[in-house]
Amino acid sequence: MTTGLKQAELNERLARVVELGQREASRGGQPVLVSTTARVPHVDPADLFDRARTDERTYWEQPDKGFSMVAIGEAARLTGGGERRFSQVAAAWRRLLSRAVTDTSDDAPVAAPLCLGGFAFDPVRRREPIWDEHPDALLVIPRFLFASSGGSTWLTVSAMVGPGSDGRVADAVAADLRDILAGGARVAGAAESGGEAVPEEDVEAGRWQGSVAAVVEDIRRGAVEKLVLARRLRARAPRPIDPGPVIRRLRAGYGGCTVFAFARGGSCFLGATPERLVRFERGVVRADCLAGSTARGGNEREDEALGDALLADDKERHEHALVVRALRDALGPLCSRLDVPATPGLLRMPNVQHLHTPVEGVMEGEWHVIELAERLHPTPAAGGLPRQAALPLIRSYEGFDRGWYAGPVGWVDARGEGEFAVAIRSALLRGNEAVLYAGCGIVAGSEPEREYEESCLKMRPMLWALNGKPT
C-alpha cells in the first residue's frame, strides 16, 4: 500500500482491538467479535473479488451510484431456518454486537462491522442439493470488508477472539491481508474462463405454459389475485465458469442495477437486479414496486411506443397496482408519512422496461432492516397475492427449489440499517453449469405464450453475461 493507511499502522490497530477483545472474552467466558476500520487506497472491487484466495466471498455494487462492497473470508456467520429465519439472524446479530469491540471510522460509507448474505425465497419447500451452500438464512461477518463510495475505500478487518486468544490472531489476519493486496487475480481481466455456456433445450416450455393457463383459472375461481410463476434454464460450458468475467459484464451493461455475487463453497449465486426490496437509513425507508414488463425498442420511436403501450395496458397496470397496494399496506402502519406516487413511471433497462413506483416513508419507533425485509418478503412482484394462498400454489406448480432466487439479498450494519434487494435476473453457478431463473406475474388476462416470451426476455441479461454476446 503506497498511499493512505500503511500496513504496519493497520496491524497495530488490529492488535489493539484483539487485546481488548481478549480481555472482554475472558470476562464473559465466550468469544467476542473485534473489528477495526480504516481508509485505504482504492482498488477496483472486481479485482479484489478475483484476488480472494477463498471461496467465501461476496460482491455488492451499484455502479451508477459509485458504491461497492467486497467481502472476503469469514469472521463469523449467522444462520437461521424455517419461517422464523429472519428473526433468528436478527437476534443473533444483536447478541454478537452487544459485546463487540470495535475501532471504526465515522466517515466510512457504512457503519461497521456489518454482515452480508441472503434468505431463501421459501423455507417450506423441497430442498435441492444445488442450494446446499445457500441455506434458509445466512449472514456472514467477513474477515475483510472493502467498502467504496465516490472513489474512496475503507477496509474493515474483523475476527472472533476467545478467552485464550493471543497476538497470533492479529498476525494471522495481517498475513492474509498482505496476500490479498499483493495477489494476482484468479482470472485476468475479462478473459473467458469456461468457454461458451450453451443453454439446454427447454423441454418444459409446454408444461410451463400449461401451468400459466391453470393459474389463470385459479385466479378466475378466486383462489388468488396474482401468482408469480418462475421457470429455470440450465446452461453448460466446457470448463468451470468463473464468476469474475460475469460480474464485469453485468456491472458494465447494467449499471443502474445492483450487481451481486455470493460465492460459498463450490457455488456462486450472482446477478444484476433492478428491484430493491427495502433500504433503511436514518429513519427513512425506501422500497420499489416493480411489476409489468415489455421489451425495449430497436430505435427511440419504437422504444417510446412500447413504453406508452405498457403504461396504457390494463392487465399490466392491474398487476402493478396489486404490488403497490401490498407495499402500502405493509409499510403504511409503520410510518408517520408514506409517499407513493399516484401513477407508475417507466424503469428502462438495456433489454426490458418495467412499470415502476418508488415508495419512501418516515418510520415511527425503532426498527431493524431485517425486520422490514421480513415484513415485505415476498412482495406480490415475487410471490403473489394473497401471500398465504400464493406460496402453496407456487410449490405445487413450479416443482423445483427456488433457493435464493427472488429472495432478499443484501447487508445490515451495526446500527441495524442497510439494504436488501430482490434477487431476480440471477443464476447459480456450480462448476461448468449455470442455472438461470426468471419469473412472470400471472393475473387475470395473462396469456401463456406472452408470459413465456417475457420469461425468455428476462433471462437474456444472464445469458449475455455468461457468454459476452447477444442471445
Q: Are strands 335-339 and 276-281 parallel, antiparallel or unpaired?
A: unpaired
DSSP state at residue 257: S
Query: Which grid cell is 348?
Result: 428502462
Find the catalytic residue in 61, 225, 226, 454.
226
Q: Are 355 and 282 in contact, with CB atoms under 8 Å apart?
A: no
Query: Which grid cell is 64?
Result: 451508477
Q: Are 70 and 49 in contact, with CB atoms under 8 Å apart?
A: yes
Q: Give me the residue label for grid cell 448474505.
A: 117
Q: Are 470 and 253 in contact, with CB atoms under 8 Å apart?
A: no
Q: Exposure of 18 by Cβ count < 10 A (0-12 exposed, 13-18 middle, 19+ buried)?
A: buried
Q: How far apart are CA 327 and CA 458, in angstroms?
A: 23
Q: How far apart are CA 270 and CA 157, in angstroms?
A: 24
Q: How far apart are CA 465 and CA 231, in angstroms?
A: 19
Q: How far apart are CA 413 and CA 322, in angstroms?
A: 31
Q: How far apart are CA 63 and CA 172, in angstroms?
A: 33
Find the catalytic residue in 275, 319, 398, 433.
275
Query: Which grid cell is 400?
Result: 423445483
Q: Are 211 and 231 in contact, with CB atoms under 8 Å apart?
A: no
419 noted as active-site residue: no
H helix runs in 149-196, sequence order? 168-182
DSSP state at residue 166: -
Q: Can you give the length of the chain in residues?
A: 471
Q: Are 410 and 249 in contact, with CB atoms under 8 Å apart?
A: no
458 noted as active-site residue: no
Q: Are 291 and 441 in contact, with CB atoms under 8 Å apart?
A: yes
DSSP state at residue 200: P
Q: How far apart are CA 411 and CA 373, in angstroms?
A: 11
Query: Could you list the active site residues?
Result: 226, 275
